[in-house]
Amino acid sequence: MHEKFQADLNDLAGRGRLRSLRGRSGNDFTSNDYLGLAESEELRRAAFDAIARGVPVGAGGSRLLRGNHDEHEALESEAAAYFGAETALYFGGGYVANFAIFSTLPQRGDLVVHDELIHASVHEGLRSGRADHVAVAHNDIDAFDASIVRWRASGGKGRPWISVESLYSMDGDSPDLAGLLAVADRHEAMIVIDEAHATGVLGPQGRGLAAACEGRENVVTLHTCGKALGSVGGFILAPRAIRDFLVNRARPFIFATAPSPLTAAITRAAIEISGTKPERRERLARLVRFASGELRRRCGIVPSGSHILPIVIGSDRAAVSVAASLQERGFDIRAIRPPTVPEGTARLRIALTLNVDEAAVAELFGALAEDMRKAA
């Protein structure tokens, strides 16, 4: 009855791409809990306090029915103020928020020009949306500009949209946001900036790399809560007309049960910590500097400069083998393979978090250097 499914699984296994669930073990070099907030005493206390004042666990319905809670409203107000946008709209996750943006906002006749390494959630939103879309070379500003120029020259009459990440989750690098904003302004384009891996970590008060342009009429940003903020959910930050349009037209918002009011309350505490207590960001920045030096010194690899350090191996099987070796030594590192990354670029994605210290980092790169020498 399930032969076709099993055949596909067998094919994945044969190519070194079969995935499975495994528990947590070893030093954390794979999570997105960059500031170590997910299991922090501060967020535990926020959860206890919220329960004590009667905040419910479940919303009980969509926000357009009875699911809208004071905690959602307070969180959105505080998030908009913190990030510097006119409004915020809270979703159950960053994936669904991105899906909502691209399946709802760009209209028929518009063009979305996106970086070739943009997140899968954007691709899925575009497939469900009405606008035409085209991918351009990674971090190539001229390619964004040229695509819009060609589209206009061929008769494009709608609005162009630009879609990028401020920090790419598998490469740890960033685009020239100022240059992209200039392109957007020149063509009267909207720009959507996914701040998922910068939120809480980079920019003034952890507000992200696009903080300077928040609140502009042609800027929409996405901030996630399940990474550095240690909670769950995602925000769309945008002008009020866009927020109201999403409330009325975005099917992922209209037809979904509202996020937990309890997690909204916890996320409020995480934002307050991010905005008023820079100590965690400062510690992470020191760890990034140390790790970058160790990676260069021990492994001869040029670091990304961020808290995401990709180690490109190449083949799927080799990446799985190196990851398994490091896991046996007590390092929780996973192999990242296509389609998450392009063919031939299977890698180890080393995420730096406050769940490890400098000693663990030095030990990791010592072990990695040994494995790389054996593979050479």
Supply the pLDDT for residue 376: 59
Same domain, 264 and 342: no
Same domain, 93 and 233: yes
**Residue that finishes a domain, picked among 223, 248, 276:** 276
Average pLDDT estimate for 25-42 = 95
CATH number of the CATH domain containing 371: 3.90.1150.10
What domain range is 361 assigned to? 21-39+278-375
Same domain, 336 and 368: yes
Same domain, 34 and 74: no
Q: Report residue 301's pLDDT band, with 50, 70 and 90 as the boundaries.
A: very high
49 occurs within a structural domain:
no
**Residue that finishes a domain, picked among 276, 306, 328:** 276
Query: Which of the residues 110, 115, 165, 214 is marked catalytic?
Result: 165
Supply the pLDDT for residue 25: 82
Please determine, for residue 98, whether its predicted confidence score (pLDDT) is greater than 80. Answer: yes
Please determine, for residue 374, whether its predicted confidence score (pLDDT) is greater than 90. Answer: no
- Whole-model pTM: value is 0.94
13 occurs within a structural domain:
no
Per-residue pLDDT tens over the stretch 7-25: 998 998 888 888 888 888 8
Query: Which of the residues 98, 103, 166, 169 is marked catalytic?
Result: 169
User: Average per-residue pLDDT in the chain?
Assistant: 95
Same domain, 261 and 295: no
Is there a catalytic annotation at residue 227? Answer: yes
Query: Which of the residues 27, 32, 103, 231 is marked catalytic?
Result: 32
Please determine, for residue 326, whether its predicted confidence score (pLDDT) is greater than 80. Answer: yes
Share above pLDDT 70 across residues of the chain, in percent, rounded to a whole number: 99
Average pLDDT estimate for 90-106 = 97
How many folded domains does the chain comprise?
A: 2
Supply the pLDDT for residue 21: 82
Query: Which of the residues 72, 133, 197, 307 is marked catalytic?
Result: 197
Average pLDDT estimate for 98-113 = 98
**Residue that finishes a domain, picked among 217, 245, 276:** 276
Q: Report residue 375's pLDDT band, with 50, 70 and 90 as the boundaries.
A: low
Supply the pLDDT for residue 355: 97
Per-residue pLDDT tens over the stretch 118-153: 999 999 999 999 999 999 999 999 999 999 999 999
97 occurs within a structural domain:
yes
Per-residue pLDDT tens over the stretch 43-91: 999 999 999 999 999 999 999 999 999 999 999 999 999 999 999 999 9
Same domain, 135 and 230: yes
Is there a catalytic annotation at residue 165? Answer: yes
Is there a catalytic annotation at residue 119? Answer: yes
Same domain, 286 and 247: no
61 occurs within a structural domain:
yes
CATH number of the CATH domain containing 195: 3.40.640.10
Query: Which of the residues 145, 194, 195, 294 is marked catalytic?
Result: 194
Same domain, 193 and 246: yes
Same domain, 265 and 320: no
132 occurs within a structural domain:
yes
- Least trusted range by pLDDT, from 277-291, 315-329, 346-360: 315-329
Per-residue pLDDT tens over the stretch 154-197: 999 999 999 999 999 999 999 999 999 999 999 999 999 999 99
130 occurs within a structural domain:
yes
Query: Which of the residues 121, 227, 274, 306 is marked catalytic?
Result: 227
More confident residue, 372 or 193: 193
Same domain, 104 and 238: yes
Is there a catalytic annotation at residue 139? Answer: no
Same domain, 206 and 355: no
Is there a catalytic annotation at residue 169? Answer: yes
Supply the pLDDT for residue 367: 94
11 occurs within a structural domain:
no
Is there a catalytic annotation at residue 114? Answer: no
The span from the first CA to the last CA of the chain, in angstroms, equals 45
9 occurs within a structural domain:
no
Same domain, 155 and 239: yes
Is there a catalytic annotation at residue 223? Answer: no
Query: Which of the residues 72, 119, 133, 223 is marked catalytic?
Result: 119
